[in-house]
C-alpha cells in the first residue's frame, strides 16, 4: 500500500514504542527497526562490490570536460556500469538538473547561479560548449535498469527531487545523499523509509568516533544505509578496518570517493568496502566487475558465480604484487646499510677501540 503522496511504506519501519528501562543486550535484540542496507533493493549487487561512475566517469577518455552529461553517462552504461553517481541543482522554477556546481561558469559556456535562473535560460547552456545539461528525470527514463546515487546540493532541490522520484516510481533505484543533515532529514521525511539514503556528515562522525556498539546503534539505527566517505579528512583517517567493521555491524555499507588510483582501489576492496566511486570508469579494478556482469548475462551464466571468480583473481594478483614488493625491499635496505649505516657504526663504535689499541701498540 502506498502512503499518501510518497513512496510505499517499508516493512518494519516503526520503532518500538519504548526502550526505557531495558538493559543494553535487550535493547540490541529489540532494535528491529534498524534499517539495514540488505533490505533495500538498491544495494542488491549479489553481495559483491559496487562500482559507481562518478559524474559518469568524469576523467575517462572522451568524457573529460563533459562531466554529468548524457554522453558521459552513456559511456559508463556502455562499459557495463549499472550504478551512476550525480548531483542535482534546481532552477528558480523548480526544474531538477543533473549538475554539480552552484553556478554555470566552470563547465558550461554561460554564467550565472543555477537557482536564480529559469530553466528556459539554463537549457541554452552547453557543457564544454557541446552538450546540454541533462535533467535527472531524463537519466532515469533513458536507462530504466540503472541505479543512481543523487547528491542534493542545495535546499531548493528537496521538493523537485522528491517529485521526480515519486513520478518515476524510482524508489528502489535511487539513493539520496547530502552533506547537509537538515536536507537529508527533509528528504527522508518526504520520501519515507523505502528510499535508501546515505549518512550525513554528523552520522559519519558518530560512526567513526562514538564509543560502544549500543550508542552507535541507537544513534544511527534509523539513519542512512550507507556511509559515503573520503579515505581521510585532513589528518583524520576515516576508512579503516575498524570503521568498515562498525558499519557492517549496523547493517550499513561503506562507499568511498573519489578513488582513481588502482593500488588504492585494491587496498580499499581488501578492507571490505562495499563500493568505490571513481572518475576513472576505464580502470580494470572496476571494469572487471561490471564487464563480467554483462558477459555472464549474455551467456546465461549466474552473475554471482562469475563475479566471485573475478574477485578471487583480483585478490591473487594483489597478493602477488605484495610478494614482489616484499622481495624488492631488502635490496632497497641493503644499499644504505652497506654504504651509510655500517661505516657510521664503525666510526662511532669500533673507532675509539681501534685508537686505544693503536696507542697501546705503537705509542705505549
Q: Please tell me the predicted confidence (pLDDT) of residue 283.
A: 85
Is 88:150 a contact under the CB 8 Å cutoff?
Answer: yes
| Maximal CA-CA distance, the chain | 106
Give how far the C-alpha of residue 172 lies from the chain's centroid of Cα atoms, to the nearest Å: 18
* pLDDT tens digits, one per residue of 316-348: 655 565 566 555 545 545 555 555 655 665 565
At residue 139, the pLDDT reads 98
- Copy the grid coordinates of residue 364: 705505549
* Residue 40 grid cell: 533495500
CA distance 290 to 29: 37
Q: Where are the domains of the chain?
A: 30-301, 303-364
Compute the mean pLDDT over every residue in the chain, rounded to the nearest whole number. 82
For 82-140, write each residue's pLDDT tens digit: 999 999 999 999 999 999 999 999 999 999 999 999 999 999 999 999 999 999 999 99
pLDDT at residue number 222: 81
- Give 264-300 pLDDT, tens digit per residue: 998 998 899 999 999 999 987 676 556 555 555 555 5
- Facing residues of 277 across strands? 52
Q: Assign 223 a pLDDT band (cuts: 50, 70, 90).
A: confident
Residue 12 confidence (pLDDT): 46
Fold that domain 30-301 belongs to in CATH: TIM Barrel (3.20.20)
Give the 3-state secondary structure of the chain. Answer: CECCCCCECCCCCCCCCCCCCCCHHHHHHHCCCCCCHHHCHHHCCCCCCEEEEECCCCCCHHHCCCCCCHHHHHHHHHHCCCEEEEEEEECCCCCEEECCCCECCCCECCCCEHHHCCHHHHCCCEECCCEECCEHHHHHHHCCCCEEEEEECCHHHHHHHHHHHHHCCCCCCEEEECCCHHHHHHHHHHHCCCCEEECCHHHHHHHHHCCCHHHHHHHHCCCCCEEEECCEECCEECCCHHHHHHHHHCCCEEEECCCCCHHHHHHHHHHCCCEEEECCCCCHHHHHHHHHHHHHHHHCCCHHHHHHHHHHHHHHHHHHHHHHHHHHHHHHHHHHHHHHHHHHHHHHHHHHHHHHHHHHHHCC
Percentage of residues of the chain with pLDDT beyond 90: 60
Task: Between 126 and 234, name the one with better pLDDT.
Answer: 126
Residues known to be catalytic: 54, 100
Statement: residue 247 has pLDDT above 60: yes
pLDDT band at 358 (very low <50, low <70, confident <90, very high): low
pTM for this prediction? 0.74
Cβ neighbors of 248 (< 8 A, separation 6 or more) are 254, 272
Binned at pLDDT 50, 70 and 90, residue 81 comes out as: very high
pLDDT at 289: 57
pLDDT band at 11 (very low <50, low <70, confident <90, very high): very low
Amino acid at each position: 500500500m502506498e502512503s499518501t503522496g510518497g513512496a510505499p511504506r517499508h516493512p518494519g519501519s516503526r520503532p518500538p514504542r519504548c526502550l526505557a528501562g531495558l538493559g543494553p543486550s535487550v535493547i540490541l535484540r529489540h532494535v528491529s527497526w534498524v534499517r539495514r542496507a540488505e533490505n533495500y533493493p538498491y544495494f542488491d549487487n549479489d553481495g559483491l562490490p559496487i562500482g559507481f561512475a562518478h559524474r559518469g566517469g568524469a576523467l575517462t577518455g572522451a568524457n573529460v570536460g563533459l562531466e554529468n552529461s548524457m554522453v558521459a553517462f552513456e559511456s559508463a552504461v556502455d562499459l557495463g556500469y549499472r550504478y551512476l553517481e550525480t548531483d542535482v541543482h534546481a532552477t528558480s522554477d523548480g526544474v531538477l538538473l543533473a549538475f554539480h556546481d552552484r553556478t554555470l561558469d566552470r563547465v558550461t559556456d554561460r554564467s550565472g547561479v543555477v537557482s536564480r535562473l529559469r530553466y528556459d535560460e539554463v537549457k541554452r547552456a552547453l557543457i564544454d560548449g557541446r552538450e546540454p545539461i541533462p535533467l535527472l528525470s531524463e537519466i532515469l527514463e533513458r536507462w530504466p535498469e540503472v541505479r543512481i546515487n543523487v547528491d542534493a546540493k542545495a535546499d531548493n532541490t528537496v521538493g523537485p527531487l522528491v517529485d521526480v522520484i515519486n513520478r518515476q516510481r524510482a524508489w528502489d533505484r535511487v539513493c539520496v545523499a547530502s552533506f547537509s543533515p537538515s536536507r537529508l532529514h527533509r528528504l527522508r521525511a518526504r520520501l519515507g523509509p523505502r528510499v535508501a539514503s546515505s549518512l550525513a556528515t554528523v552520522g559519519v562522525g558518530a560512526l567513526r568516533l562514538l564509543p560502544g556498539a549500543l550508542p552507535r546503534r541507537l544513534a544511527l539505527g534509523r539513519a542512512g544505509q550507507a556511509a559515503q566517505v573520503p579515505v581521510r579528512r585532513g589528518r583524520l583517517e576515516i576508512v579503516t578496518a575498524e570503521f568498515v567493521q562498525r558499519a557492517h555491524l549496523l547493517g550499513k555499507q561503506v562507499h568511498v570517493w573519489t578513488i582513481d588510483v588502482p593500488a588504492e582501489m585494491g587496498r580499499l576492496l581488501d578492507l571490505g568496502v562495499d563500493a568505490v566511486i571513481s572518475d576513472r570508469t576505464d580502470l580494470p579494478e572496476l571494469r572487471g566487475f561490471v564487464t563480467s556482469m554483462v558477459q555472464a548475462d549474455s551467456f546465461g551464466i549466474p552473475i554471482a558465480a562469475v563475479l566471485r571468480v573475478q574477485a578471487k583473481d583480483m585478490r591473487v594478483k594483489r597478493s602477488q604484487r605484495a610478494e614482489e614488493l616484499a622481495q624488492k625491499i631488502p635490496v632497497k635496505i641493503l644499499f644504505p646499510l652497506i654504504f651509510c649505516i655500517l661505516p657510521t657504526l664503525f666510526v662511532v663504535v669500533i673507532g675509539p677501540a681501534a685508537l686505544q689499541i693503536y696507542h697501546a701498540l705503537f705509542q705505549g
